Structure 1
Amino acid sequence: MTEAEADSVVPVPAQTTSAPALRIAGLRKSFGEKIAVEHLDLTVPSGSFYGLVGPNGAGKTTTLSMATGLLRPDAGTIEILGTDVWRENVKAKSLVGVLSDGVALFDRLTGEQLVTYHGLLHGMDRETVAQRTADLLDLLDLREAGGTLVVDYSAGMTKKIALASALVHAPRLLVLDEPFESVDPVSAANIRDLLAGYVRGGGTVIVSSHSMDLVQRMCDHVAIIGSGRLLAAGTTDEVRAGSTLEDRFVELVGGRHTGEGPSWLHTS
């Protein structure tokens, strides 16, 4: 699939505004005595392809869950394109498409039914939903599996049908938590083309990933989170500061162990 082909079928977001796609201020969340996110501030420019990276347990998923209205914060404010997520929850959710890592789908529906359901849930007419569902199934190589129950999908197919469901209503902001996990290389390339076309069409993408190389190649902005705090944010070139994003990440987060390991691991 070429970039031009991706552009031709991706639902185009509505006209953008000058407001940031996402603005987070003073965000805090704890679970008992465990502080997951601590006074986090983050601004994601509209029209950007924004990477969010951090080690396991850094607070990435918790941050994204609060940012998209799935988890209520203990403190702080969140705005999507100028709309307060918790004061105008319904409006804010209409502006965003979400692919959450590990969240259960209605897997007793077929793939086609699941995407259709999401479109109708957003108030779209059936004709538009049907056309967009067909486009997305073709784009994500799920046409033959459209009539199969989602419960019978592989992990990679499940990721792709969840992405189609997040895209069908042409959201202004797309938030993806580990979208490439378990996805084969060809499908991953197609998804990258799709997302690039979506950004060129006026949308904003936030992607959380453990693949530093992928984020460096794909994203024009990036934020590094560690222990629930923002460690660095800006354009990808600014954050990596002349190094690779992986090296910069390790430098900021810490925890790298050097050395050859114990002698019993050496076979000669």
Structure 2
Amino acid sequence: MIEINHISKSFPGKQAVKDLYLNIPDGKIFGFLGPNGAGKSTTIKMMTGILPIDEGSIRINGVDVAEAPMKAKHLFGYVPDRSDIFLRLKGIEYLNFIADVFHVPKQVRKEKIEYLTKSFGIYEALDDHIQTYSHGMRQKIVVSGVLLHDPDVWILDEPLTGLDPKSSYTLKEMMREHAARGKIVFFSTHVLEVVEQLCDEVAIINNGHVQFQGNMAEMRQQFKEDDNLERLFLELTQNG
């Protein structure tokens, strides 16, 4: 379970997130939807401990991410919105580094690295440096690293950006399988079509506020009845 309890975050001249509350049960694919600049990435960076929380708290499977950050980090895997990291490492060096961080046994990591990188079509590029990879390949190596230690909670910031159709399909199927095992997939996007394809539940954020939380049927119904949400829906469609 992910419990986001009335968190806020401000930067000089701007409040990025305002009193945000979300409660996400196990076994769900949860879409975090909003236009660019709505506060999605800021929220995710607080969930993962990258940014400190100004007010409120976040708990992942009962662990407070601020009070027990190392314990919390072993419970989730995080795909950032930018994949330009560790560029001087070879793909296999990066994956072994991630496996070492999360204490993945040698035989288990070997099998999982082969499975994941073949699934995403980058197995043959593992001996190449990441700086030679295309944007899509960098995204695939980061996603492969995140899934290596099989975390209970996946936190994915625009994870499908840059992926080719086959890899996008593969990742969507992995997300469905993970949720079917009683785990959580939390991912942000500004593309409504992806949310409709994948999500059990969705929250819409705009200007740092949660405008809506519920399932897809509830979202469609409320958009019909609430003019403000309808305008937001149109804005999201245009950005998608």
Do these two structures clear the TM 0.5 threshold for a shared fold by scoring above it?
Answer: yes
Residue identity opposite 1:213 in structure 2: E
**What is the aligned partner in structure 1 of residue 38 from structure 2?**
58
**1:218 Cα deviation from its structure 2 partner:** 0.7
**Which of 29, 43, 62 is 1:49 aligned to?**
29
Unaligned runs of 5+ in 2: none
Number of residue pairs matched?
234
Alpha-carbon distance in 1 for matches of 2:222, 2:24: 22
Residue identity opposite 2:31 in structure 1: G
- Residue 124 in structure 1 maps to residue 72 in structure 2: no
After TM superposition, the runs of 4+ consecutive aligned structure 1 residues lying more than 2 A away are 247-256
- CA offset digits 1:83-116 (Å, max 9, x no partner): 1001111110000000010254211112122122
TM-score in terms of structure 1 length: 0.82
Q: Which moved more, 1:194-203 or 1:115-124?
A: 194-203
Alpha-carbon distance in 2 for matches of 1:252, 1:107: 38
- CA offset digits 1:16-56 (Å, max 9, x no partner): xxxx2x11111000001210001100111111000001111
Percent of pairs with identical residues: 33
**1:250 Cα deviation from its structure 2 partner:** 4.7
RMSD of aligned Cα (Å):
2.0
| Structure (1/2) with the larger helix percentage | 2
Residue identity opposite 1:126 in structure 2: K
Do the aligned partners of 2:223 and 2:229 also contact (CA within 8 Å) in 1?
A: no
- Residue 177 in structure 1 maps to residue 162 in structure 2: no
Distance 1:88 1:77, change over 3 A: same
- CA offset digits 1:173-201 (Å, max 9, x no partner): 00111111111112111111122122222
**What is the aligned partner in structure 2 of residue 222 from structure 1?**
202
**What is the aligned partner in structure 2 of residue 139 from structure 1?**
119
**What is the aligned partner in structure 2 of residue 100 from structure 1?**
80
Q: Which moved more, 1:133-142 or 1:223-232?
A: 133-142
**What is the aligned partner in structure 1 of residue 19 from structure 2?**
39
Structure number, greater radius of gyration: 1
Unaligned runs of 5+ in 1: 1-19, 257-268
